[in-house]
Amino acid sequence: MKNFFNKIFSSSKNLYSFKNNIKKLSITTPVKKIFEVINSHSSESEIRYVGGCLRKIFNNEKVDDIDLATNLNPIEVSEILKKNKINFYESGIEHGTITAILDDHKFEITSLREDIFTDGRHAKVKFSKDWKKDAARRDFTINSIYADLDGNIFDPHNGKKDIEMGQVNFIGDPEKRIKEDYLRILRYLRFFLNYSKQPHKQEIIKTIKINISGISIISKERLLDELKKILKSNQLEKLSKDKFSIELILLIFPELKNIKSVINSIKVKKEFFVELDFIFILFLMIIDGTDNLEYFLYKYNISKKDQKRAYAINNFYNEKEGIKTLNEANLNKVLYYNGRQAVLDILNFKIIKSKKLDKKMLSLLELYKNKITPSLPVGADLLMTRYKIPEGRQLGSMLKLIEEEWVRNNFEITEKQIDNIVKG
């Protein structure tokens, strides 16, 4: 009996806290305006918070985005926003999503939907006015919670209870949910790491293993985006203790050969990892001195900018740049030829790969965070006026020789040295 009353008290206390946090959203963001214009459109129009923001509030996480659901179709939503002079763009109009912009805040407004057809990666939908049908098409119970502006909850699949119990449950048949969109295999892993207080259910493990080949039809962009959310979560340490989750990631991303060693290093360098971005952590798990990096870059659509970062780290790893000791003189050369990001990546790579935090490397890291790239003090104009060298190949060759000497002398060069180079 005592436990029964404790549960009631705890539940009511949680709801009180939840409603307070919901009301804070109206104070800290202009979301109230969206509610007002939609709810006042007609006697039947309605809009509610949905999904991630509610899940995060229940789990005492920071809310960094706000998703909304409405029983109006996207054309009606667009007309209402336009009428009330609220900026918006059609971020996913075919799936009923419109993004409203107010005071630099973005709010995704999605019309209630039903699935007509799914093929494992895409869904054809029709718009609905039925909140229960919209909830039924969602992936997990913890993502099918709705709330109005005052924090009154509509929770047809008991998602709140699952959050409190630390359970990640599919809505309905797990296999059916996965076959609708195979990305849900990775989404399950992300939510499990963040919210589960229970071990994996054997039926879920079996279902995922049976359907893992379906991942092959998911676009590489969607896979990388989901991996990014996993690697930037604060649950990587939990991942290190979860054999099935690591096995699953390696089945989907076999190139992440260093994942176990990287995750293990987080245990002793947890605070350091907070500052690292996804693309660096990704390369940290891939670069191993083989052609593993080349294969990954070929397989995935990595930007030219990030490819450049990868090659800078890889060259350092293979000592192609000849950096046997990481000192200022050598790092200045990397700074000049490859840019500041390359230096920071190399230093971070060295720090992570070291067994202990190296104070010397940390000092160099701080130094290069704001260090200005050296600039060659000799230009074409000087050579043309002082030495009467005409424009053309000879001028370019002389500048190249002077630059090489300047770099070799730790970015210093005298007029005598310039004279000797020019006059031969």
Indicate left, alpha or beta for 415 from its phi (over 0: left) and psi (-120 to 50: alpha).
alpha
Q: Looking at residues 65-82, what average pLDDT do you find?
A: 96
- pLDDT, residue 273, reads 77
User: How many angstroms separate the first and last alpha carbons of the chain?
Assistant: 98
What are residue 117's phi and psi, to 5 degrees? -155, 140
| Bridge partners, residue 111, by sequence | 70
For 66-111, the three-class secondary structure string (H helix, E strand, C coil) is EEEEECCCHHHHHHHHHHCCCEEEEEEHHHCEEEEEECCEEEEEEE
Hey, what CATH topology would domain 11-165 get? Beta Polymerase; domain 2 (3.30.460)
Contact between 198 and 164 under an 8 Å Cβ cutoff? The reply is no
In the numeric block, the tokens 């089945």 are attached to 251
Give CA–CA dist 7/368, Å, rounded. 54
DSSP 44: S
Residues 347 and 326 sit within 8 Å (Cβ to Cβ) = yes
pLDDT of residue 266: 76
The pLDDT score that the predictor gives to residue 235 is: 78
User: 3-state class of 268 per DSSP?
Assistant: coil
pLDDT tens for 223-278 read 999 999 998 777 788 888 899 999 999 999 999 999 988 888 877 777 777 788 99
Amino acid at 68: L
Tell me the per-residue pLDDT of 312-330, one tens digit each, with 9 for 90 and over: 999 888 876 555 578 898 8
Q: What is the DSSP secondary structure assignment for residue 7, as one 8-state letter?
A: H
**Residue corresponding to tokens 């996480």:** 61
The mean predicted confidence, pLDDT, of the chain is 90
- Domain 11-165 identical in fold to domain 172-253: no
Dist CA 139 CA 177 (whole Å): 6
Contacts of 190 (CB under 8 A, 6+ apart): 226, 229, 230, 233
pLDDT of residue 1: 42
Domain boundaries, the chain: 11-165, 172-253, 263-374, 380-423
CATH of 172-253, one of 1.10.260.40, 1.10.3720.10, 3.30.1300.10, 1.10.3090.10: 1.10.3090.10
Tokens of 381: 């104009």
Reference 48, options 127, 95, 105, 111; nearest CA is 111
Instruction: Name the nearest CA neighbour of 28 among 61, 64, 52, 58.
Output: 64
- Token readout for 257 is 């050969």
* Cα–Cα distance, 111 to 88 (Å, whole number): 15
What pLDDT digit, counting tens, does each position of 32-62 carry? 999 999 999 999 999 999 989 999 999 999 9
Other C-beta atoms closer than 10 Å to the C-beta of 371 total: 16
